[in-house]
Structure 1
Amino acid sequence: MPSPQVDIFIPCFVDQLYPHTALNMVRVLEKVGCQVHYNPAQTCCGQPAYNAGYKAESRDIARKFLDDFPTPAAGSEARYVVSPSASCVGMVRNAYPPLFADTSDAARCQALRPRTYELTEFLVDVLGVSTIPGAALAGTYTYHDSCAALRECGIREAPRRLLDGVAGLARLEMAETSTCCGFGGTFAVKFEAISVAMAQQKVEHALATGANYIVSTDVSCLMHLEAYIRREKLAIKTMHIADVLASGW
């Protein structure tokens, strides 16, 4: 059986602040038999500009994304676009269609959407993987459902299934796990006090479980929560799910 062909998209936050998460995603994908490809010309999905209201500018960035991940030729092997960010995947699936409606790029956009996946849903829903061989991490975790993963992409069970398969790791669900962490991109800048209060609430719910780690699919959420945790010197850590799945081997 041929190896699944995967083009990885590395989001801005991961590229600049958490490059080890990108490397760990590659390790996980290769561990389950994928052939991973990286296009160094890739930049951004366009979400920051889009969320700030700059639709024309975001369309220009999104068009480059279409160029960076071209549609495979008819009859060629399937090629997936996989990212360690449900936020970016949600942008491609939900914002690209209206951005490119009635344009010459509409067909390319429609072809890209069904082959673009967040890491955990690709592993579970496409490859049928529920356990990463050798994954091990001692301790307990509580899971944060990011808004993008849960509401934009419908991802809830896949990450939990993978995490529950990590040797030595046990789940402790927090209260209001689906409540927003408060980051929201430009929301954290425009409404700082509300954003910080939401982070505080999320972290307090996580601490109440007694878990060692807060795990999620989105580093933007984790970055926001980690900043609050560090400021308050709290005894809990954040980990992206790719880093957890690559632990122990």
Structure 2
Amino acid sequence: MKVNFFATCLCDTVKAEVAKKSVVLLEQLGCEIIFPEKQGCCGQPSLNSGYIEGSKPAMKNLIAAFEENDHPIVTPAGSCAASIKRYPEYLADEPEWAARAQKVADRLFELTQFIVNELGVENVGARLKGRAVYHPSCSLIRKLGVREEPLRLLANVEGLEMVPIKNQETCCGFGGTFSVKMSEISGEMVKEKVHHISEVQPEYLIGADISCLMNIGGRMTREGRPVKVLHIVDVLMSR
């Protein structure tokens, strides 16, 4: 199967290994990766801040970049996927662009969603020994409806014990620009999240959204918590 890969800004600038491992994993699962070189930022930061008009050039650029073919589009970032899924709404006053946006959105999948639902794979042969907590990001569970897919993949990782925490699905406090504009509230939210994680003494914190992992991981580092932060693709590529 031919698949377009959407790398996202965070992968490009701070977590390149997540993008690389995602590509390798998809290739191991039988996908041929296409990387449209004209892709850029999806506009999420400005969209989340309400600057819809100012975000339209970025949206249109991304739409055009992925119109090169009709193959599925896969990304390891749920928050970016959720933003693109709303493009038709943002471009509603330009019907032609809204229709083009809908076609792109319909082909777009978050990585675990694609592996489980489109490829029909729940066991990728990964091995990782230890106790872990999974953080379900708001973008995945609330915006994309991706709740069980990451858990199914993690359940099949040999040696990995997944442990629940209190208020597991509560927001970590990042929320994009929310963490800047409402920094005091955001800080208290991530402190609470880290407290609940620390109660069960895991070796790993696993998530499928880089931004949330950076937020929670940063707090745990400041508190001196000995928990290793992993994107889910890091786990799925462990052997």
Fold similarity call, TM over 0.5: yes
CA contact (8 A) 2:38 2:62 kept: no
Q: Which runs of 5+ in 1 are unaligned?
A: 73-77
* 1:71 to partner: Cα distance: 6.0
Number of equivalent positions: 238
> Match of 1:75?
none
CA contact (8 A) 1:71 1:111 kept: no
Alignment of 1:92-241 (within 5 A): 92-93=84-85, 95-103=86-94, 104-133=96-125, 135-241=126-232
Give the TM-score normalised by the residue count of structure 2: 0.96
> Match of 2:59?
62
Cα deviations by residue, 1:132-191 (Å, 9 ceiling, x for unpaired): 13x111111111110000000001110010011111111101111110000111111111
Q: Which runs of 5+ in 2 are unaligned?
A: none
Counterpart CA distance in 1 for 2:8 and 2:165 is: 27
> Match of 1:9?
6
Cα deviations by residue, 1:36-76 (Å, 9 ceiling, x for unpaired): 1112332111111111121111111110010110063xxxx
Counterpart CA distance in 1 for 2:148 and 2:103 is: 26
Give the TM-score normalised by the residue count of structure 1: 0.92
Secondary structure, in 3 states, of the residue corresponding to 1:183? coil
Secondary structure, in 3 states, of the residue corresponding to 2:19? helix
CA contact (8 A) 2:41 2:62 kept: yes
Match of 1:22 among 10, 19, 24: 19
CA contact (8 A) 1:71 1:112 kept: no
CA contact (8 A) 2:18 2:231 kept: yes
CA contact (8 A) 2:88 2:99 kept: no
Secondary structure, in 3 states, of the residue corresponding to 1:70? helix
| Matching residue's letter, 2:130 | G
CA contact (8 A) 2:207 2:230 kept: yes
- Extract structure 1 runs of 4+ deviating beyond 3 A: none
Counterpart CA distance in 1 for 2:65 and 2:82 is: 18
Counterpart CA distance in 1 for 2:11 and 2:233 is: 11
Counterpart CA distance in 1 for 2:146 and 2:167 is: 16
| Matching residue's letter, 2:34 | H
Counterpart CA distance in 1 for 2:138 and 2:68 is: 28
Deviates more, 1:100-109 or 1:28-37: 100-109
Secondary structure, in 3 states, of the residue corresponding to 2:185? helix
